[in-house]
Amino acid sequence: METRADALKSVDRMILKVLKAITITSFVLLTVLISANVFVRFAPIVSLHWFDEIIELLYAYLVFYGAAALWISREHFGVGDWIEKRIGNIRMRHVYRLIIEVLVLSFVVIFFYYSLKLTLLARDVTNVFAIPKRVLYSCLPVSGLLMIVYSLRNMAVEIIGIFGSGRPPWAQGDKQIQR
């Protein structure tokens, strides 16, 4: 029987696999379409009048779902690592990381709010395929919500690190905590 920690880890892995699949698929399709567009400019055998709307969708999905995947795995870049390394007390490192997570969470909540508002208010469609703009914008609030959930998780890890005696079981293997 799985423990809660194992269940949470498997959910994390599943979400991460889906986000990585979307990101990689978007990248491959972007590469193919941009290459085709360059080829068609030199050998105009077909019209790619629909090119812009698909590129817009793929770029948005690549950037925002990719950012969410990096967020979940804590592999996004950060500028604070040089400060953290100078903090000798392990509890103070957790306090420092908690402060960073609170600041990041504030940004992500604002991002989520306005991206959700944009998505819900979008009524227009794309010119060629009549794809609702909501579909294009949907990656923003979805990735923002994922970032909020994982920021809250990261904050919980840091709070447990401050007051507890080590890492919680669902944070085992977390790259940020192992430093």
Residue 50 domain flag = yes
pLDDT digit string (tens) for 74-111? 887 766 677 878 888 888 888 988 999 999 999 999 99
Looking at the predicted structure, is the pLDDT value of residue 178 above 60? no
Domain that holds residue 151: 4-174
- pLDDT value at position 6? 79
pLDDT tens string 46-82? 888 888 889 999 999 999 999 999 998 888 776 667 7
CA dihedral 81, 172, 154, 152 (to 10 degrees): 170
Kindly report the pTM of this predicted structure: 0.81
Answer whether residue 115 shows pLDDT above 90: yes
* Within-domain flag for 179: no
Number of domains the chain is built from: 1
pLDDT at 46: 81
Residue 163 has what pLDDT?
87
Q: What is the DSSP letter of 168?
A: -
d(CA 14, CA 40) in angstroms, rounded, equals 39
pLDDT of 172 over the 60 cut: no
Asked if the structure places residue 59 within a domain, the reply is yes
Residue 70 domain-assigned? yes
pLDDT of 171 reads 58
Percent of the chain having pLDDT more than 70? Answer: 89
Residue 90 falls inside a structural domain: yes
What is the structure's pLDDT at 37?
87
User: Quick one: which of 23, 137, 4, 3 has its CA closest to 71?
Assistant: 23
Note whether 150 and 114 are within 8 A (CB). no
Burial class of residue 117 in the structure, from the number of CB atoms within 10 Å of its CB (0-12 exposed, 13-18 middle, 19+ buried)? exposed
Share of the chain above pLDDT 90, in %: 46
Identify whether 12 is part of a domain. yes
